[in-house]
Amino acid sequence: MLHPVGPLPAAVYWRRRLVVLVVLAAVVGGLTWGAVALVGSRGAGGESTGTATPTELPALERVVPSVAALRTPEAPAAPPPPPSEEPPPAAASAPAPGGPCADDMVALEVRTPGQVAPGSKPTFELVLTNTSPVPCVRALDKELQELVLIDASGARVWGSNDCFPENSDEPRELAPGETVVVPLLWGGLTSEPTCTAPRVPPAPGSYVVRGRLDTKASGDAPLVIG
């Protein structure tokens, strides 16, 4: 090996061997450098992974917030439905036993003979009834009682308190359903509240008699004169 044999001079063979050695040295050196560089880049990559800095947000997300950051407003609670049925009205308190007879606790009516002769002196009746379920007290004072006679046109013809008013103090306790009858005599003549106009017998015809006991009024009772 050290003494080349061939037709060419020995220097030629030595130069060829030198070139081959240089090429082999370059190849080995290149492979060694590549291996070292590969190992170094892997180590640097691992370190950078451990201390990586956060990446910058895209330009769109810097302007528009993410969907996760938005809160949808809650809808207001719906009002409760109205009750299907109204509660029953509270029962009215019952009247106290032995108290005053209010107007809605009594009934008042007038009774007449129905027909009388001109100039006669009939007796009318004022009838009071306790219609409540408890006993109560009602004043039957004379000044609180009144009867009036009204003709077919609605004109007032006579009043029981016009010319001969009376006064009395007559409280009366009425049991439930009890009726009190108060008679009132008519003299058969016309009258007016001042009792200054001439008093004459009413003309024959159809009339009505209306009664009152303080603030309680009765219906009309018919009366025919003739």
Instruction: Read off the pLDDT of residues 118-167 as tens digits, 9 standing for 90 and up.
Output: 989 999 999 999 999 999 999 999 999 999 999 999 999 999 999 988 89
Nearest 5 degrees, angle CA 4-CA 9-CA 15?
A: 70
Same domain, 140 and 213: yes
pLDDT band for position 220 (50/70/90)?
A: very high
Q: Are 145 and 160 in contact (CB under 8 A)?
A: yes
Query: What is the Cα 187 distance to its own chain's centre?
Result: 61
pLDDT in tens, 54-97: 455 555 455 445 545 555 556 566 666 666 666 555 555 677 78
Of 114 and 69, more confident: 114
Q: Is 215 a domain residue?
A: yes
Q: Is 54 a domain residue?
A: no
Query: Which structural domain range is residue 27 located in?
Result: 10-48
Would the pLDDT of 51 be above 70?
A: no
Q: Is 109 a domain residue?
A: yes
Same domain, 114 and 214: yes
125: β partners: 111, 183
Number of domains in the chain: 2
Q: Is 32 a domain residue?
A: yes
Q: Is 69 a domain residue?
A: no
Residue 172, domain CATH: 2.60.40.2360
Q: Is 85 a domain residue?
A: no
Of 213 and 86, more confident: 213
Q: Which two tokens stand for residue 32?
A: 């060694």
Q: Is 25 a domain residue?
A: yes
pLDDT band for position 26 (50/70/90)?
A: confident
Burial 3-26 (b: 16+ CB within 10 A, else e): eeeeeeeeeeeeeeeeeeeeeeee
**Beta strands across the sheet bearing 179-185:** 106-111, 123-130, 179-185
